């Protein structure tokens, strides 16, 4: 019986029950309010519907909170209980192994028609786990229904002619919105914190400064963890990308917002934004298949020139330049659509002022519109840079794996993101310096892009203040 509860897709049932409870309580509240209104000489403070919403909220809200808490902590409690009941022999394995053992039990339990494995201890533990889960679910459902029941009656007793149901509903909605915002914020904080603590674990094995300032990166062998070559590769490719994206994006934004006819603009702008919808893996493919060979053959041609020393350019099959160019193309719509927005935000009166002084269109753009839009454009470029730094797929496919520091753009470089992927794919144990270094890299990457974004946001804010 308990095992059945451990298996039921109970979440859906609960949703249905709660929705039904919501409906019923809404109509109950509404009816009650109408009756109260009839029985009184005064006018109802709030419309009957609001009384209905209020009761429904009071019914569903507490139940939802109970279930939410269960969803967050229920399994942890069950696992803790199970761990306590396991024989000493297994508990002595250490927290990591123990956790993995329970993971396997949970997995086994989730597979409904999995037969016994033959390992008596394991099978018994699995059965125990399933029934513990069943008990916890029954308790949670019971508590949720109790909360709904209590909420319903408390709310219903509150209804009166003077009850300010409308204001209370308003507060309820505010609370709901706040909780959604809070979830987003806490998730972010949670991710950052876990990244941070994993990074700390790494730094307990590899000194922080030898990581940040080290010039050698050989993480696969677990020998060297100097991140400078990765930073170099990352920034080199981002720089090459910006070399492509900044001028093209910016100038096309100027053309679109200042010169193009509305008709042309209405056709071209969506097409440009379509570029942003292309999956990055397609860009990566494009880089690997077309651009990298092109870069290589061009580099070979340069090497073949009479006055160029032999082997002047590395001319590798994958190269920083190929990845940079394609990443630049990918970022163009990002730059152009953000810049287009800030250029359009420059008040028309400023342009009129310049025209009225006898300035030509390009003078107006260069001397009045662009200076006015500059902070916003800078912000757009910074956001684009942080995008380029965090971009993964293109570099994984087209930049290479070799951690080296060279100014030659036709050499293969590697980036932080590429290394993270390389470190975490395949068979990994989550406890070695090699794997943990991925978290350290991720954390540093996060800090860098955060700084870029913060500066950009700050600049945009300042710019807004000026024109509003």
Partner 1 sequence: MDGNVEDFTETDKSERAANMAEMIKVDCRNIDVFYDDKQAIFDISLAIQDRAVTSFIGPSGCGKSTFLRCMNRMNDTIESAKVTGKIFMDGADINDHSIDPVLLRSRVGMVFQKPNPFPKSIYDNIAYGPRIHGLAGSKSELDEIVESSLRKAGLWDEVKDRLPAPGTGLSGGQQQRLCIARAIAVSPEVILMDEPCSALDPIATARIEELIDELRERYCIVIVTHSMQQAARVSQRTAFFHLGKLVEYGDTERIFTNPEDTRTQDYITGRFG
Residue with smaller CB distance to partner 1, 220 or 360: 360
Residue with smaller CB distance to partner 1, 43 or 263: 263
Q: From the CB of 354, what's the least distance to partner 1, in Å?
A: 7
Residue 455 CB neighbours (<10 A): 15
Written as six digits, the tokens of 177 are: 């919105």
Stretch that binds partner 1, among 264-272, 280-288, 345-353, 394-402 (CB under 8 A): 345-353
Length of the chain: 468
Stretch that binds partner 1, among 130-138, 143-151, 209-217, 346-354 (CB under 8 A): 346-354
Going residue by residue from 275 to 304, which x/- string records binding to partner 1, judged by CB under 8 A? ------------------------------
Q: From the CB of 346, what's the least distance to partner 1, in Å?
A: 9
Q: From the CB of 334, what's the least distance to partner 1, in Å?
A: 25
Size of the site for partner 1 (CB under 8 A): 21
Q: What is the C-alpha R_g of the chain? A: 31
| Of the residues 95, 349, 425, 427, which one makes contact with partner 1 according to CB under 8 A | 349
Q: From the CB of 344, what's the least distance to partner 1, in Å?
A: 15
Per CB under 8 A, 112 contacts partner 1: no
Among 160, 170, 191, residue whose Cα is nearest residue 39: 160
Name 334's Cβ contacts closer than 8 Å, sequence gap at least 6.
Answer: 245, 249, 276, 380, 383, 384, 387
| Of the residues 41, 88, 95, 261, which one makes contact with partner 1 according to CB under 8 A | 261
Among 32, 202, 68, residue whose Cα is nearest residue 143: 68
Q: What share of the chain is helix, strand, coil (3-state, %, to 5)?
A: 80, 0, 20
Per CB under 8 A, 259 contacts partner 1: no
Among 303, 325, 172, residue whose Cα is nearest residue 242: 325
| Of the residues 106, 243, 272, 350, which one makes contact with partner 1 according to CB under 8 A | 350
Stretch that binds partner 1, among 92-100, 127-135, 347-355, 379-387 (CB under 8 A): 347-355
- For residues 98 and 107, the answer to whether their CB atoms sit within 8 Å is no
Residue 144 CB neighbours (<10 A): 24
Going residue by residue from 355 to 374, which x/- string records binding to partner 1, judged by CB under 8 A? xxxxxx--x---xx--xx--
Q: From the CB of 253, what's the least distance to partner 1, in Å?
A: 18
Per CB under 8 A, 352 contacts partner 1: yes
Helix residue spans in 255-398 (DSSP H): 262-275, 280-286, 292-304, 320-345, 348-356, 361-364, 370-390, 393-398
| Of the residues 9, 39, 118, 262, which one makes contact with partner 1 according to CB under 8 A | 262
What part of residues 371-400 is at the interface with partner 1 (CB under 8 A)? Answer: 371-372
- For residues 431 and 246, the answer to whether their CB atoms sit within 8 Å is no
Per CB under 8 A, 266 contacts partner 1: no
Q: From the CB of 355, what's the least distance to partner 1, in Å?
A: 5
Please report, for residues 254, 374, 375, 456, the alpha-carbon distance to residue 249 in angstroms, rounded to integers and kept in the order given. Answer: 9, 14, 16, 17
| Of the residues 353, 431, 457, 461, which one makes contact with partner 1 according to CB under 8 A | 353
Burial pattern 249-279, b for ≥16 Cβ within 10 A else e, equals bbebbbbbbbebeeeeeeeebeebeebeeee
Q: From the CB of 468, what's the least distance to partner 1, in Å?
A: 12
Q: From the CB of 261, what's the least distance to partner 1, in Å?
A: 7
Q: Which residue has the tokens 């419309």?
A: 47
- By the criterion CB under 8 A, which residues form the site for partner 1? 261-262, 347, 349-360, 363, 367-368, 371-372, 466
């Amino acid at each position: 019986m308990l095992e059945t509860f451990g298996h039921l897709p109970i979440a859906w049932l609960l949703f249905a029950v709660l929705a039904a409870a919501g409906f019923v309580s809404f109509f109950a509240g509404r009816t009650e309010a109408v009756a109260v209104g009839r029985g009184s000489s005064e006018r109802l403070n709030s419309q009957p519907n609001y009384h209905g919403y209020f009761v429904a909220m009071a019914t569903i809200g507490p139940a939802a909170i109970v279930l939410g808490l269960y969803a967050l902590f229920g399994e942890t409690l069950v696992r803790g209980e199970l761990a306590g009941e396991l024989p000493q022999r297994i508990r002595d394995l250490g927290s990591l192994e123990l956790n993995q053992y329970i993971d396997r039990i949970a997995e086994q339990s989730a597979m409904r028609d999995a037969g016994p494995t033959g390992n008596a201890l394991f099978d018994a533990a699995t059965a125990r786990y399933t029934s513990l889960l069943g008990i916890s679910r029954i308790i949670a459902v019971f508590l949720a229904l109790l909360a709904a029941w209590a909420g319903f009656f408390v709310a219903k007793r509150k209804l009166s002619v003077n009850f300010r149901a409308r204001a209370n509903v308003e507060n309820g909605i505010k609370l709901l919105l706040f909780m959604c915002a809070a979830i987003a914020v806490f998730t972010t904080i949670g991710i950052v914190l876990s990244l941070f603590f994993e990074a700390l674990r790494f730094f307990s094995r590899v000194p922080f400064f030898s990581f940040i300032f080290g010039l050698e990166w050989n993480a696969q062998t677990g020998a060297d963890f100097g991140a400078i070559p990765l930073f170099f590769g990352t920034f080199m490719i981002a720089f090459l990308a910006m070399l492509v994206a900044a001028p093209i994006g910016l100038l096309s934004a100027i053309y679109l917002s200042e010169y193009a006819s509305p008709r042309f603009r209405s056709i071209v702008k969506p097409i440009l934004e379509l570029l942003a919808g292309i999956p990055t893996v397609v860009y990566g493919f494009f880089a690997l298949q077309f651009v990298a060979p092109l870069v290589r053959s061009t580099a070979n041609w340069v090497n073949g020139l009479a006055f160029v020393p032999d082997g002047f350019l590395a001319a590798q099959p994958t190269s920083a330049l190929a990845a940079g160019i394609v990443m630049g193309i990918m970022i163009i719509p990002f730059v152009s659509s953000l810049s287009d927005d800030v250029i359009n935000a420059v008040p028309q009166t400023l342009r009129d002022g310049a025209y009225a002084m006898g300035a030509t269109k390009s003078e107006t753009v260069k001397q009045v519109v662009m200076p006015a839009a500059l902070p916003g454009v800078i912000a757009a470029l910074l956001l684009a840079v942080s995008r380029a730094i965090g971009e993964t797929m293109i570099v994984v496919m087209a930049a290479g794996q070799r951690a080296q520091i060279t100014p030659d753009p036709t050499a293969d470089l590697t980036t932080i993101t590429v290394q993270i992927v390389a470190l975490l794919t395949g068979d990994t144990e989550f406890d070695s310096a090699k794997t943990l270094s991925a978290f350290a890299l991720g954390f540093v990457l996060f800090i860098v892009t955060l700084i870029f974004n913060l500066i950009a946001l700050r600049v945009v804010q300042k710019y807004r203040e000026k024109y509003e």
